[in-house]
């Protein structure tokens, strides 16, 4: 990931905070700050498919975040001081999680459509759709995954041995 050309050229990067069964992103987040890039993380709205990408101030800032009912760290609803990526300069790159992927770029998420609806909003931003990279274990690569009409394909899937 750290040597990837899209990562190197990107300045505004959104990345997920890992759940235990996902690729761990802590080192990537540390490198984003080490390289002087801007880091944004998801804040999901429960009972909806709405998600924002909010600016993380430092790698240490993660420890100040609230734990959701899904056991995901994210800025609280009362945290209104953080920059939302689409309210300002948009994003260059989004690292995406998922449960399964196929080699055509289809992604099986957790079923709420958060990333798909966020990418739709990105497409309306003056900067346009950011490049998307899914981070996966090779065991998550399938021949095909179920696809819905509003699913947005990822540009690239990185996994061991790819």
The response to whether 17 counts as a known ligand-binding position is: yes
The response to whether 22 counts as a known ligand-binding position is: yes
* Secondary structure E strands in 10-155: 12-14, 38-44, 51-56, 66-67, 73-74, 93-96, 100-102, 107-108, 131-136, 141-142
d(CA 147, CA 144): 9
d(CA 158, CA 137): 8
The response to whether 12 counts as a known ligand-binding position is: no
d(CA 52, CA 151): 18
The response to whether 111 counts as a known ligand-binding position is: yes
The response to whether 90 counts as a known ligand-binding position is: no
The response to whether 108 counts as a known ligand-binding position is: yes
| Residues tagged in the binding site annotation for ATP | 107-115
Q: Mark the binding-site residues for substrate, compressed into ranges.
A: 17, 22
Q: Which residues are annotated as a binding site?
A: 17, 22, 107-115
């Amino acid at each position: 990931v750290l040597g990837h050309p899209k990562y190197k050229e990107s300045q505004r990067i959104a990345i997920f905070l890992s759940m235990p069964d996902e690729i761990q992103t802590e080192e990537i987040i540390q490198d984003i700050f080490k390289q002087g890039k801007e880091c944004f993380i998801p804040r999901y709205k429960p009972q909806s498919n709405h998600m924002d990408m909010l600016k993380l101030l430092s790698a240490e800032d993660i420890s100040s975040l609230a734990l959701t009912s899904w056991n995901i760290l994210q800025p609280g609803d009362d945290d209104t001081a953080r920059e939302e990526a689409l309210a300002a300069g948009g994003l260059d790159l989004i690292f995406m999680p998922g449960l399964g992927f196929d080699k055509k770029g289809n992604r099986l998420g957790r079923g709420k459509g958060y990333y798909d609806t966020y990418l739709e909003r990105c497409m309306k931003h003056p900067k346009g759709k950011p490049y998307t990279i899914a981070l996966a274990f090779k065991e998550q690569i399938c021949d095909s995954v179920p696809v819905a009409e509003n699913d947005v394909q990822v540009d690239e899937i990185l996994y061991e041995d790819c």
